[in-house]
Every structure is written in structure tokens, then in C-alpha cells.
Structure 1
């Protein structure tokens, strides 16, 4: 099947260097090194100081324009570092059809496999960040051009079918030991008619769009291409894919209580996104992403399985 990360346009290092030097002569001589290829953008580190993102798909162009208007304002009110656009590149006929953007580099690296303690240490940080983001005035976001959720990111009925196809691939490729738990969850999860919410959300917070410092504590948030006005469960999915059960309690003690429906939606989004990341890692031979994705799934399933088995054993012991 067609993958959601398949590119329409790929900017080579040589083309990136040419576009940047031509449009931003103050950066000459430009050095570029590939940082990554996301679903929507090819990303280069420039002069060891800046990050330039070049859209890979048409859908990413409008998203990039939204970032350019929102992020300079948002960066001044959030408690952790986020991408801050400062260079606004233009399309060049015959070379590259879309605009592109350069940012100050956000210090840190994507988390890979982490200990439970390292994850716990970021629970409050994640909570205070998301609380600040979700409290940003909706009207102000709309005036800055932020769209509503046009992709129906929490449509379980629609995305469940996609998840099932990828889970079959995961099973065939033997990518994940607990695939039976994964299959059971997807089979049993029920569709929820989502009530419209009006919260500013990042839209794509996962283990490749957060950064950690040298202590493996969350220090920054990148790739705001999916920012929109929608349901907070889209962002709260990180609670399930990044934090152990104990960390979730700490998180909500600082973020605030949410209803049961939001929790169910957040978990589904976490599972769906992590399945996609696992297959993306396999498709790109990214061993670190594969292992990190498997650990995220373990947080959602193995921890719960262990708890269930423990309770069952206690009940047997009492008999």
C-alpha cells in the first residue's frame, strides 16, 4: 500500500546548499548535513546553527506557512524551547516548486530507549508545556491562520482500518514480540463520535518530535507542521507513548484532570502513531526508531499485561 511518508519532492544536499546560498547570502559559505526525512519535510542542519526544512509533499506547504505566522509568537509564551522560524525561502522555477523555512536550531536530540526514571523526570515538564499550549487563546490562533482539524486525526473508524493493515505487516515481519496484544487492542477499540474541541494543539507530538538534553529530560518540541485547533487528546497521546503508568498520574496532577473519553482517544492516537513510526523505521532501516517505537508500545501494553498477570496471580494465591 502507499505509505503516508512517500515523497513527491526530495531536496538533495547540493540543491539545499544552492537554494540557501542564493536566497540568504549572509549565510555563505553554507554547509549542509542531513538531519532527517520526516513524513512532510526533508531537514538539513545548516552551518551547525540553523535547521532548514524543505517540504516533501504538497500538503506540507500550507502547514509550513501556518508555522511561519504562529511560531514566532508562540515561542515567547511557552515554557520550553520550540522551533522559531527566521529564514523564509521562496520557490525557484525549474529547481524547487515550494517555499521553505530556516529556524534557529533547538538544542537536544530525539529520545531513543530510556529508563523508567528518565521518563518519569519529564512528566511535569510535558504537563506544564501542554497546559500552556492548550491554554493559548483559540481566537488568537485563528487570526494567525491556524486551521481546524481537517484530517480527522481521531476518527477511530477510519484509522483503525489503516492500523490493522500495518499490524499485519508487523506480525509478518516479526517486528514486535507483543503483537498479539496490539492486535487485540485494535480489534476491540470502539469508535467514538468526537465532540468538537477548540484547543490549540501541536498535532504530532511523538518520540521524533520531542528533544531531550544530556540527562535525557525533555527540552524542546519541533516539527509544528500539524499544528491546528482541535481536540487535546491528539497531544495527550504522548502521555501513553512516552510515560509509564506512574508518570501519567504525575502528568495529570500538573496538567489537570481530563474526562474518560479524552483518555481513550489519547491512547488510540498513541497506538496508531507508534505503529506508523515502527513501520517508518523499518522502511528506512532506522534501528534506533524501531527500538524506541517498540519501547513505546511496551509502555502501553506490556506494563498493563504485567499488572493484569500480577492481579491474576494474587487471586489464585488467595484461593
Structure 2
């Protein structure tokens, strides 16, 4: 990592390099508490170039800050960004209780001193701007993601077989009922989406409660906009989801809501399986904490 930094930033003094964590596809390092460097497990030069161009376009679209690229190394699948202020929103959620804890009812999501009203307004305005991009203009910057709902449901059922013993017994019927239902219809249209808008990718100022940045655009795609709302529902709860819709400029139909719930539930099962196998445990802990509101209509 130091050699890579020296090659691209020869006059930059590197004092500290800390590995922050990893996901399914990337490792992330923090340099001098100023830069974040994301390195792919498997380098894809074309995908790297596409992401740099995509971030430049997103910076023009988004009313919220997004990462600014400092340098990119396509051969190693590396992109360095200036670190945005704030802390991930998942640090401010009620994730430290067990599902069904009477002290934290399932309709709660955002905790501490954070006010859900400004968060919802910022998210609704942000999603309006991103989803409002003309899909054709973004086609060269983001792949098409049209994973069929029946296949998603099959994947969720397979994941559930592995994690069912970890789901509290009083909630298993909720998940199993969902897995037995028919998947929703496919979306009538596709839009440019962040496509991984979990709470860990939303930065907030803990003092003011405002959003300071939206990070990790690796999975951005032309896809069903319900995917973006699904992770808001899963991670932040139905109350903040409903508030966000009041600031969203496009209509959300009954069919859209059905797909949002469907994607939220599939994503929760996927995170639970990931956190209990190869991923960080906090993914599983959050999934279990959010299971009641995600699987309760």
C-alpha cells in the first residue's frame, strides 16, 4: 500500500496506514486520517475506470457529498478518495438489543440524538436526484442489474436453511411465511440507483444529525429503484422509510411497495447469512435486530 501511495502521490507524506475492514469485493484502508483507499480483491481495470467516471457524474447529480477521487490505479483495482466527515449511520441505530426487546419496539430505527425528520428529507431529496438521472445517459457508467425476483427468493430460501437455527423461534414463522409466498412482479421501469444504500454507507454528523456523505458506489447500477428504498426500510425502519417517501418526487405505487418489502427481506436474510459465515459479525447482529420490523407488514 505504501508503494502504491508513493507512486501516485510522491510528495505526500504517509504517516499511518490502517486497514479499516473488508467486504465481499474490497479491502479498505485509511491513510493519515485523510484518505480512504479501496482495493479490489480481484482487479478489473475496466470496472475501476467506470467507477471513477461514475463518481464524477454522481458528484454533479447528488445534493449530498459523495467521495472525491484523488487517484486511481486500474491495474491493482485501487481508488483513493478524500475522507468525508461524519460517522456511518449504523453506529447510531438500536443494534445492540435483541429482536423483541420491549425497551426498543420494532418501529424504532434511528436512535440517540438523531432526529429522523431531517434525515428523511435529505434521503428523499437525494434519491429524487439520483433516480431522476436519465438512464440512457448513465448506461456507460453503470451496469444493468436485472436479477429476477424468483431467483432472489430462491437464493433467500437457500440462505435461510443455513441460518434458521440462529433466528429467534418466535420470529421464524415470519420468515418462513415470506419464503412461501410468490415473488412480486418485475419493475415497470429501471433507473440509476446507488444499489447498496445500507446504513453503513450513509455518513452523518452526530452533533447535528445531518447527512454528511453517501459512500461506496461500487454496486451502483441501472436497476429497480425499490432496491434503494429496501435498505432504508431494512436498516432504518418503516417510520423513517415512510417519512422519506414524503420528500421523494416520483410516485410510489402499491406494487412498488411490495417490491421494496420483498427486496428488504431478501437483503436481510443475505446479510444474516454473510455475517454468520465469512463476513463481519455485525452484519448478522444488525439483521437479527431489524428482523421484526422488516418481516412485519
TM-score by length of 1: 0.77
Of residues 204, 207, 224 in structure 2, which corresponds to 1:212? 204
Of residues 185, 210, 222 in structure 2, which corresponds to 1:192? 185
CA distance in 1, matches of 2:17, 2:124: 35
Select the structure with the greater relative contact order (CA < 8 A; seq sep ≥ 6).
2
Aligned twin of 2:123 = 126
Of residues 82-91 and 109-118 in structure 1, the stretch that sits farther from structure 2 once superposed is 109-118
Question: Is the alpha carbon distance of 1:177 and 1:214 closer, same or farther for their aligned partners in structure 2, counting shifts above 3 Å?
Answer: farther
CA distance in 2, matches of 1:41, 1:245: 30
CA distance in 2, matches of 1:268, 1:192: 11
Question: Is the alpha carbon distance of 1:62 and 1:202 closer, same or farther for their aligned partners in structure 2, counting shifts above 3 Å?
Answer: farther
Of residues 40, 44, 49 in structure 2, which corresponds to 1:65? 49
Structure 1 unaligned blocks of 5 or more: 1-15, 92-97, 305-319
Secondary structure of 1:35's counterpart equals strand
CA-atom RMSD in angstroms: 2.5
Structure number with greater Rg is 1
CA distance in 2, matches of 1:177, 1:222: 36
Secondary structure of 1:293's counterpart equals helix
Aligned twin of 2:269 = 275
Matched-pair contact (CA < 8 Å) for 2:109–2:235: no
Of residues 41-50 and 116-125 in structure 1, the stretch that sits farther from structure 2 once superposed is 116-125
Of residues 92, 114, 134 in structure 2, which corresponds to 1:137? 134
Aligned twin of 1:290 = 284
Aligned twin of 2:36 = 51
Q: Deviations over 1:53-80 (max 9, x none)?
A: 111135x654432220021232243121
CA distance in 2, matches of 1:104, 1:177: 45
CA distance in 2, matches of 1:208, 1:141: 25
TM-score by length of 2: 0.82
CA distance in 2, matches of 1:80, 1:277: 26
Matched-pair contact (CA < 8 Å) for 1:21–1:30: no
Q: Is 1:36–2:21 an aligned residue pair?
A: yes
CA distance in 2, matches of 1:273, 1:140: 28
